[in-house]
Chains A and B, each alone.
Chain A
Amino acid sequence: GDSVTQMEGPVTLSEEAFLTINCTYTATGYPSLFWYVQYPGEGLQLLLKATKADDKGSNKGFEATYRKETTSFHLEKGSVQVSDSAVYFCALIIRNFGNEKLTFGTGTRLTIIP
């Protein structure tokens, strides 16, 4: 079946450090890929997405590139802030008319210290 594997947390970084959270996937079809973020006390929010190979999703300084050859969608940010502290989830959808479920990874808790 379809699955998403992301790096184990928790991850603790100093403010302004470079961030990478690894995500790889296995899929029976051609997936669309997503990063969701959950800030403390809030629901999941879509951070960015990519729908085909070599697409780059970006938002709030975060980027991820859809790499079909390595089945990866790693999340990066050049300079993290304390406000980026949250849990990050990598996810995919296989478009199959009527079947729209998201398949998630386990989540990576990120803590940024001043």
Chain B
Amino acid sequence: EAGVTQFPSHSVIEKGQTVTLRCDPISGHDNLYWYRRVMGKEIKFLLHFVKESKQDESGMPNNRFLAERTGGTYSTLKVQPAELEDSGVYFCASSQDIPGTYFIYEQYFGPGTRLTVT
């Protein structure tokens, strides 16, 4: 079974440009998460999809970030326009979590996309 995949693995863009990151979750996983690690700091939550709906987007830093998950399969995270402080590693994760239960399902992470804004 394929794991979570992310594309590209590395992106270098100039300040003011637009970048779109893609995440393909594990097949059948309804939950998809985006996280970010900036400058060797802690990994921070950005948002959580359940199927195609945004369950929690409390971690999105500002309106330059737009996440979509059309059809409840893959997801994209667009940064427009990019700023220097957006540099970091963007992780995607998915899980098969069943809402309404107390069991916490493992979140499976992709390898991340390293974004460098110059």
A interface with B by C-beta (< 8 Å)? 4, 32, 36, 41-46, 49, 51, 89, 91, 93, 95, 97-107
CA distance A106 to B31 in the complex (A): 24
Q: Is the CB of B48 within 8 A of A44?
A: no
B97's contact among A44, A49, A100, by CB below 8 Å, is which?
A: A100
Q: Mark B1-23, 1 if CB is under 8 A from A, else 0.
A: 00110000000000000000000
B81 close to chain A: CB less than 8 A: no
Interface size of B by CB at 8 A reads: 31
The 4 lowest CB-CB distance pairs between A and B, nearest first, are: A44-B109, A101-B45, A104-B43, A43-B111
Q: Is B42 within 8 A of A100, CB to CB?
A: no
CB pair B45–A46 under 8 Å, yes or no, is no
Nearest B residue to A106 by beta-carbon distance?
B42
Residues of B within 8 A of A46 (CB): 106-107
- Of A45, A98, A103, A105, which one neighbours B45 at CB under 8 angstroms? A103
B40 lies within 8 A of A100 (CB): no
Interface readout for B54-88 with A: 1 if CB under 8 Å, 0 if not? 01100100000000000000000000000000000
Q: A36 contacts which chain B residues (CB < 8 A)?
A: 109
CB pair B56 A104 closer than 8 Å: no
Q: How far is the CA of A97 from the CA of B55 in the complex (A)?
A: 10
Chain B residue numbers with a CB within 8 Å of A49 are 106
- Taking a contact as CB atoms under 8 Å apart, the answer to whether B104 and A93 are in contact is yes
| Complex contact A43–B109 (CB within 8 A) | yes
Q: Which of these, B59, B91, B111, B112, contacts A101 with CB under 8 Å?
A: B59
